[in-house]
Structure 1
Amino acid sequence: MERLLRGTLGLGVFSFGSGGVWAFFWPESFYRHIATYPPFNLHLFHDVGAFQLGVAAALLGCLMWSDLLRVGLFGGMAGTVAHAVSHLLDRDLGGYPSDPWVTSALAVVFTVMFVLRLASRRREG
């Protein structure tokens, strides 16, 4: 059963990770081949990729650690960092002027908390 669970998590990492990378870095190609729902929206596909990368990171974290807080913070960190990059890249496409700042602040919070969690667990042994 353990191998089946780990295999399922690995499949999820691959599926969400590859889809996330594809949507984030090659959104036009992702749109043409996978999500052909007009009209094409660059920022939407950047966000789709960001969130899929966050899910992939959380599933990968499940394979690496038993500490649920570390896993959650890792997935949150990956998703929010990619989401912040999405808003920085697409700041000229619309939204609010504060969006890059807000998403970046959230990414910093998740990153700091993840690093603090890693450090606290190392001190505990």
Structure 2
Amino acid sequence: MSVRAIRGATQVEANTAESIYAGVVELLSEILSANALTPQDVISVLFTSSPDLNAAFPAAGAREVGFASVPLICAVEIDVPGALERTIRVMAHVETAASADSISHIYLHGAKSLRRDIAQ
């Protein structure tokens, strides 16, 4: 087994707890599915959100998909003028037998524009 980092991001519809939680649930579910992982394979997750998202902590949404025992932390992205709004980013550290080249990094909705080279 190796430790790998998996990146991802999503753009949510609104600055509401419901929208933030739904975005996190969708993003984490896609990351797990695309990489054949379970929450037990996850070592830790760092969430960042754009400064305009302050209605809820993204980590709270992760609890809905089985991340209750996973160390989670949230931070705010740098407020760069013109940056994509309503964006949640993730860096998950996982244990996996997968090679670095076979890891699927997940970018959803408007966040696909952040990494057109690897977005689905």
* TM-score of the pair, normalised by structure 2: 0.31
Instruction: Name the structure where helix makes up a greater proportion of residues.
Output: 1
Question: Who wins on radius of gyration, i.e. which is larger?
Answer: 1
- Choose between structure 1 and 2 for higher RCO, CA contacts under 8 A separated by at least 6 residues: 2
Instruction: Name the structure where strand makes up a greater proportion of residues.
Output: 2
